[in-house]
């Protein structure tokens, strides 16, 4: 497996103009400041979870929610990635403090904002995952806890793909850490759900009097994507961030597994996505790419 990697390993597309919007890494972190207290409409109360931290009351449509700042961060993380493994949340979101993570999750579950499920996969793989409920998602939106430019999700759309989707949070944490180490700051994450929706909407508006081949190339370029063998591959995860010079960049990342069809894997690699895989899948994926004479590097997930 190729390891370790650094941000210098990644090739970047041409930068584009910065768009206005809040710093997403700060959204949800300031629930003790005046602005958030005004929005929440209440003061603080003592934590009941054994941690000496204040809580803020957030008013929903029919009820109130009492949340620590760490619980708000957890809500936003789960909302942005749809599915987050509990183990990874403890490791990355709570810096290994599992007892605090479990206390927060119990609180969020008790208030009807988060639900836990179990997924299974290859090699007896199983994991507890966390998703937002409809109420949790509604609170994120109504409470303006994330930027209007950041899409959020709740529930599982395709349970069979949950394990693959669960890897995206770990992938993001690894790459975001490297971005921050070099002086950058993440502004937004975009899952394939959102990219597909916007891309397909644009493709549906193709003018019939234009050559469809060139129209697809033009539309793909608007999304900073490529046409490969007549198709427009879409990455699992896109990270938009500001580098140390405040230029806005994009990284397109793909979690590859042994279940990928050779043709699909080749198309993803040719599209220029940065490929990541679990250790047990690396050898098979490397053989598949070698048979297609594709030299794309596979990074450790």
Query: CA-CA distance, 85 to 113, in Å (whole number)?
Result: 16
225-274 pLDDT, tens per residue?
A: 999 999 999 999 999 999 999 999 999 999 998 888 999 999 999 999 99
Strands (E), 133-264: 185-191, 237-242, 248-255
What average pLDDT is seen over the chain? 82
196-221 pLDDT, tens per residue?
A: 999 999 999 998 888 989 999 999 99
Tell me how far the alpha carbon of residue 213 is from its chain's centroid: 31
**Percentage of the chain modeled with pLDDT above 90:** 62
pLDDT above 60 for 192? yes
Tell me how far the alpha carbon of residue 212 is from its chain's centroid: 32
Query: CA-CA distance, 41 to 65, in Å (whole number)?
Result: 11
Q: CA dist 69 to 27, 47, 110, 217, Å? A: 11, 11, 17, 44
165-181 pLDDT, tens per residue?
A: 899 999 999 999 999 99
Task: State the residue for tokens 């190339």.
Answer: 217
63-95 pLDDT, tens per residue?
A: 899 999 999 999 999 999 999 999 999 999 999
With DSSP H G I counted as helix, E B as strand and the rest as coil, what are the percentages for the chain, rounded to 5? 40, 20, 40
How big is the CA angle at 199 (ends 79 and 275), to the nearest 5 degrees? 65
Helices (H), 28-68: 34-40
When pLDDT is cut at 50, 70 and 90, the band that residue 46 belongs to is very low
100-123 pLDDT, tens per residue?
A: 999 999 999 999 999 999 887 654
Please state whether the peptide bond connecting residue 124 to the residue before it is cis, i.e. omega within 30 degrees of 0.
no
How big is the CA angle at 127 (ends 121 and 128), to the nearest 5 degrees? 140
Give the residue with greater pLDDT, 185 vs 158. 185
């Amino acid at each position: 497996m190729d390891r370790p990697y650094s941000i210098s390993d990644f090739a970047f597309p041409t930068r584009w103009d910065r768009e206005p919007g809040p710093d997403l890494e700060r959204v949800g972190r300031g629930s003790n400041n005046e602005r958030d207290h005004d929005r929440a409409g209440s003061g603080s109360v003592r934590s009941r979870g054994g941690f000496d931290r204040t809580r803020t009351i957030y008013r929903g449509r029919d009820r109130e929610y009492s949340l620590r700042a760490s619980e708000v961060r957890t809500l936003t993380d789960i909302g942005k990635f749809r599915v987050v493994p509990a183990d990874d949340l403890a490791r990355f979101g709570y810096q290994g403090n599992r007892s605090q993570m479990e206390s927060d999750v119990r609180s969020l579950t008790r208030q009807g904002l988060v639900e836990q499920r179990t997924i299974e996969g290859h090699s007896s793989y199983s994991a507890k995952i966390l998703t937002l409920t409809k109420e949790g998602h509604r609170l994120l939106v109504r409470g303006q806890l994330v930027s209007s430019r950041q899409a959020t999700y709740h529930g599982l759309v395709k349970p069979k793909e949950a394990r693959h989707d669960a890897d995206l949070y770990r992938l993001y944490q690894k790459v975001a850490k490297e971005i921050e180490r070099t002086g950058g700051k993440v502004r937004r994450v975009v899952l394939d759900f959102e990219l597909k929706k916007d891309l397909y909407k644009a493709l549906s508006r193709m003018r019939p009097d234009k050559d469809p081949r060139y129209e697809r190339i033009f539309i793909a370029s608007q999304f900073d994507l490529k046409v490969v063998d007549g198709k427009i591959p879409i990455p699992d995860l896109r990270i938009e961030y500001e580098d140390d010079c405040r230029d806005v960049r994009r990284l397109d990342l793909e979690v590859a597994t042994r279940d990928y069809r050779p043709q699909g894997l080749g198309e993803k690699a040719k599209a220029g996505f940065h490929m990541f895989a679990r250790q047990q899948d690396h050898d098979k994926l490397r053989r598949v790419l070698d048979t297609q004479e594709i030299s794309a590097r596979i990074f450790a997930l």
